[in-house]
Structure 1
Amino acid sequence: MNRITEQESKYHNIDQMSVIEILTGINNEDKLVPLAVEKALPQIEKLASAVAERMNNGGRLFYIGAGTSGRLGVVDASECPPTFGVPFDKVVGIIAGGDTAIRRAVEFAEDDDQQAWLDLQEYDINEKDCLVGLAASGTTPYVVGGLNTARKHGVLTGCIICNEGGPIVAESDFPVEVVAGPEFLTGSTRMKSGTAQKLVLNMLSTTVMIKMGKVKGNRMVDMQLTNHKLVDRGTQMVMAELNIGHDEAAGLLSKYGSVRKAVEATKS
């Protein structure tokens, strides 16, 4: 397979470049990423629609990946509960090598094509659920094996990759291929490829949560009030929705524990 993510950088002798030349080169390459994501919008639409349908019927969303891809999945999943108020196990990110691999690389963890399914078994994944494989290359055995077995068990499968085609696409009901070209630093897929995957993950989880009713207007009405900044944001939202003063809004928010509950209780 001709992996674009492994092709040689179009920049040469970067070790001889000045700091501003390096920064300019990286920035120029980064500008290509949203354009590549735009080309993949029809694929992203299909994946997001399918995931939203299953999750509205009680399903969950799982991400699997290795290295940078795995870490991005863990980040996206971990941000869903505080942002949208969903249970911590509604969106789950799993990285090859376990949680240790979030901070420290685990050698050869990505090469085991059986381990992902074993990891998913800890969550009793079933045919109601969705599994999205994250792999810049589109070939990571950990992800390929997980998608293959999940699909055989009726799990909806998708992927977010940065090459065209490959074994991961073959195992995905809804593949997303974002091809942004070779990296500034040859093969360093934590750069453009990682940015592309992060953008698509933002789009996927946010769209799904909106379609699950976790947003009202343009506001995160179910966000968890876990710090003073978020409490203040929530208070401002209640003030705007009910057209009341700060102290009254703060009191309602404290009483009901969420913007949605405070507004609904007051309007009912």
Structure 2
Amino acid sequence: MSSSPTEGLDPSTLEIKSAEQCWEHFESGESGVQEAISRARESVLVASSLWAETMRGTGRVIGLGAGTSGRLLALEMAEWGPTFSVPEDRCYALVAGGDMALTRAVEGAEDDGDAGRKAIEDLKVSENDLVLGISASGMADFVAQGLEAAGSLGAKRVFITGNPAAVVPGPGGVIPILIATGSETVAGSTRLRAATATHRILQRISTMGALRLGWIYRGRMVMMKPTNRKLRARALTIVSQLADVSEKRADSLISMCSNDLRLAVACGWLGKPAKETETLLDAAQGQLELIWQYLEPLKEGSMTSNQLAERSDGA
């Protein structure tokens, strides 16, 4: 019998005999989910730093998961392109059982440790990469052996689990994130509390990582690409509000900057050509806040890109 808390029976579920009672049980369990997430705060902050470090460089973020955990990784990573302009070849969700497992159960796939190892080796994982492994029960060999392989290749690693007794896959250096949501409303059904907590953790890792990189500014997704009508309207609003210009001027700035919203905002602030502004934005490591902080000397020309870069390094 498994020792994972996710497999345990919650005694309070024994008397659930109606949909209304089930609803109340879900409601009462929400606080436990939030508490589990809150306890993982420091580890999640570290993971977000590793995410940012990887994206700032040339590495990839690679997810390893089985069942619901794998599907959550695929769901999360699918949003990084439209939200943050992360190229498809810089994020991979490796799901036990392959693409078929995204829409249906592939029984036994999570026990195939060799497949997890091979998936990592086939991607030629290196020290530049970050591998996120998720196993709610802490028992998925696909994830464990995949993380072990990633470690032997020098990759940064994060292990997310709902089992405090889980063996953290070696070699050392793995960042463990424990989300102790305990037993489920339906015993063993980790698509419930464990999945809810996992989804929120993944959201926070990527969102806080993007914030560290300046991809989010004052609550706006400034790395977004306006690829459809809705997003074009959003882009106009973002640039118009941040640069404090009309939507007509915002449209002109976006076109001038080839749909780079950060650059469009900086151009709106500085009143300089796109190429010159891009040099300054690069010196600021893409941080609009740094441009804003030194806006007047940059507009006047009394601060150079090299001087801005020095301040960026110390930020």
TM-score range, shorter-chain basis?
A: over 0.9
1:177 paired residue number: 178
User: In the alignment, does 2:243 pair up with 1:239?
Assistant: no
User: Map of 1:1-268 to 2, 5 A cutoff?
Assistant: 2-10=3-11, 11-14=13-16, 16-17=17-18, 19-168=19-168, 173-255=174-256, 256-266=258-268, 267=270, 268=272
- Per mean C-alpha deviation after superposition, the further-off stretch among 133-142 and 45-54 is 45-54
Moved more, 210-219 or 126-135: 210-219
Moved more, 186-195 or 46-55: 46-55
| Equivalent pair of 1:51/1:61 in contact (CA under 8 Å) | yes
For 2:42 and 2:221, locate their aligned partners in 1 and report how far apart those are by CA, in whole Å: 26
Task: Provide TM-score, normalisation by structure 1.
Answer: 0.92
Contact 2:145 2:169 in 1 (8 A): no
- Report which stretch shifted further, 138-147 or 219-228: 219-228
Query: What CA distance in whole angstroms lies between the structure 2 residues aligned with 1:159 and 1:104?
Result: 24
The alignment of Structure 1 onto Structure 2 pairs a total of residues equal to 266
Q: Quick check: 2:67–2:105 contact (8 Å CA) kept in 1?
A: yes
Highest RCO, 1 vs 2 (Cα 8 Å, sep ≥ 6):
1
Amino acid at match of 2:76: D
Distance (whole Å) between structure 2 residues aligned to residue 170 and residue 261 of structure 1: 42
Q: SS of the counterpart of 1:114?
A: helix
Residue 157 of structure 2 aligns to a residue whose secondary structure is strand
Report Cα offsets for 1:29-81 as digits up to 9, x if no partner: 12311111101112212222233334323222111100000000111111111
Query: 1:170 offset after TM fit, Å?
Result: 5.1
How far apart in 2 are the matches of 1:242 and 1:157? Answer: 39
When structure 1 is superposed on structure 2, of 109-118 and 249-258 the one drifting more is 249-258
Further displaced range: 193-202 or 47-56: 47-56
Gaps of 5+ in 2: 273-315
CA distance in 2 between partners of 1:166 and 1:217 (Å) = 39
Aligned-residue CA RMSD in angstroms? 1.8
Unaligned runs of 5+ in 1: none
Given the two structures, how large is their TM-score scaled by the length of structure 2? Answer: 0.79
